[in-house]
Amino acid sequence: MLQRRGVPTIPVAVLRDAVALAITELSLRGAAKEMGISPNGLRNFINGSAPRSATRAKLERWLASLDHRTVPPPTVGHLVRLLTDLSGDLSPQQTVLLGRSISAVLADAYEARRLSPPRWVQDLLRHYRPRRAKESGETA
């Protein structure tokens, strides 16, 4: 698909979520200044208003500029909390099985590319590793 410079390409709902996530480490005023829009305009957009096309283009350009910034890798705590939130309707045992499956898929994907799984994937594998009865304090 051909894309013209300055033409918005990200659906508004996705753009809103991405911007809201990206500004969590910044102040609203600081983020708005970086984007070249007003703090009220940014706040209104995050709260659900439809942006003007010029504002939308600025938001997209700002998001694209974040690619060069370093983002710290997720921690096991972040991933476990996210998985727990996502599996709210499941039992704790099902949540553990889901975590175990997701961590195995991640490790397999890295190994398929002949890459060593990063530390956070290894930590996730350890976290969801099946425990023996003695280790978990259970008795037979």
**Are 16 and 36 members of one domain?**
yes
| Residue 122 near residue 103, CB atoms below 8 Å | no
| Residue 31 near residue 23, CB atoms below 8 Å | yes
Residue 28 lies in a domain: yes
**Are 16 and 55 members of one domain?**
yes
Q: What does the DSSP 8-state code read for residue 117?
A: P
d(CA 5, CA 134): 62
pTM of the model: 0.46
What pLDDT, in 10s, does the model give residues 8-44? 577 888 888 888 888 887 889 999 999 999 999 999 9
**Are 54 and 93 members of one domain?**
no
What pLDDT, in 10s, does the model give residues 48-86? 999 998 999 999 999 888 865 555 666 778 788 888 888
d(CA 18, CA 88): 23
Q: How confident is the model at residue 2 (pLDDT cuts 50, 70, 90)?
A: very low
Residue 140 lies in a domain: no
**Are 31 and 64 members of one domain?**
yes
Length of the chain: 140
Residue 133 lies in a domain: no
Q: Which domain range does residue 95 map to?
A: 76-127
Q: How confident is the model at residue 108 (pLDDT cuts 50, 70, 90)?
A: very high
Residue 24 lies in a domain: yes
User: Given its phi and psi angles, is residue 4 left (phi above 0), alpha (psi -120 to 50 degrees) or beta?
Assistant: beta
